[in-house]
Amino acid sequence: MDSRILAIIAAFLASAIYGLNHTVAKGVMPVYIEPFGFIFLRVFGAAILFWAISIFGPREKIATSDWPRIFGCAIFGMVINMLFFFKGLSLSTPINSSVIVTLSPVMVLILASILIRERITLLKSAGIVVGLGGALVLVLFSNATKENAPNIPLGNILFIVNAFSYGLYLILVRPLTSKYHPFTIMKWLFLIAVIINFPITIGEFTAVEWGSLPFEAVWKMAFVVLGTTFSTYLLNIYALKQLSASTISAFIYLQPLIAIIYAVATGADRLTPVKVIAALLVFAGVYMVTIKKTKTTA
C-alpha cells in the first residue's frame, strides 16, 4: 500500500482513538477510579512503555541548556494538561470535552502571538473570537448538572485551561523535536511527569480496589494507557513522516465527530441545541484560525 495512504490511515486512527477516549475514560470515573488516580496510571504506564521502546531508538544525551524546556514541557503537557482534562471529564460530559479540546489550534495561535510574536491576521483574530465564543456558550448555557456530570460549567472551564496548557506545550516542545529522537523526548517527559504527579495523584491511585475491578473497567483503563497515551503518539509520528502539519491538523475535526457519534450511540451523552450551536462556532473558529491563504501540498 502507498506510504501516503498508510499515513492518512494512521492519522485517522489517532483521531478515532482520541474521539473514543472522551467516552471510554468517562466510563470509569469516578466509579472505579478518581480522575487524579487515573492520571498516575496513565503517565506511569506510558513512562514504562516509552522507556521500553526507547531501546530501539538512538542513545542521546539531553543538553544541560535543554533541561528547563524539558521540565516545562512535562509541566504543561503531562501534568496541568492531563490533570485538568480528566478532572473536567469527571465533572462534565464527553461531547463537551471533545468540542472544547478542538480549540487547541486557537490556543496555540494566541500563545504563539504572545511568546514568539507570531503575527495574527484579521481572519485569525475573528476565528479566535468565534471559537472562544463557542466554548463560552458551553460554559454559560449548559445544564449545571446531570447524571455522572456533577458540575458541567466548571468541567468545561477546566477543558479550556487544558487546551491552553496543551497549546503552550506544543510551542515549548517544537524546538526539541528537531534536536532529539521522539523516543528520547517522550521517555524523559513521562518520567518527569510521574515524579511531579506522584504527590498529587498517588492518594486516589492507591484508593482503587484493584483486585475487584470488573473486566469493563480494566479494558477501559488499558485503552487509555495503551491507546490514548502510547499508540496515538506513535501513529501521529508515523503520519508526520509523510504528511504536512497542516494536513495532520485537519484531522482534529474528526475527534469531536467520532466522540459525538460514540457517546450518543452508547447512551453516554446526548446532543442538545446548545451543544450543536457551540460545536458549530468552535469548528468555524478553528477553521478560520488554521486556513491558509495559499494552497499547500501535503
pLDDT of residue 118: 65
Cα-Cα-Cα-Cα dihedral sign, residues 273, 278, 279, 285 = positive
Q: How large is the average pLDDT for residues 29-43?
A: 94
Average pLDDT, the chain: 84
pLDDT of residue 265: 87
Assigned C-alpha cell, 117: 510574536
pLDDT of residue 121: 78
**Is the confidence at residue 297, as pLDDT, over 50?**
no
pLDDT of residue 116: 65
Compute the C-alpha angle 177/160/225, nearest 5°: 55
Q: Tens digits of per-residue pLDDT, 127-150?
A: 778 877 877 776 677 666 666 778
d(CA 105, CA 253): 11
For residue 296, what pLDDT band results from cuts at 50, 70 and 90? very low
Q: Tens digits of per-residue pLDDT, 64-119?
A: 999 999 999 999 989 999 999 999 999 988 888 888 877 777 777 777 777 767 67
Taking the whole predicted model, whether its pTM rises above 0.85 is answered as no
Burial tier of 118 (Cβ tally within 10 Å: 0-12, 13-18, 19+) = middle
Q: Tens digits of per-residue pLDDT, 243-280?
A: 655 566 667 777 788 888 888 888 878 878 888 888 78
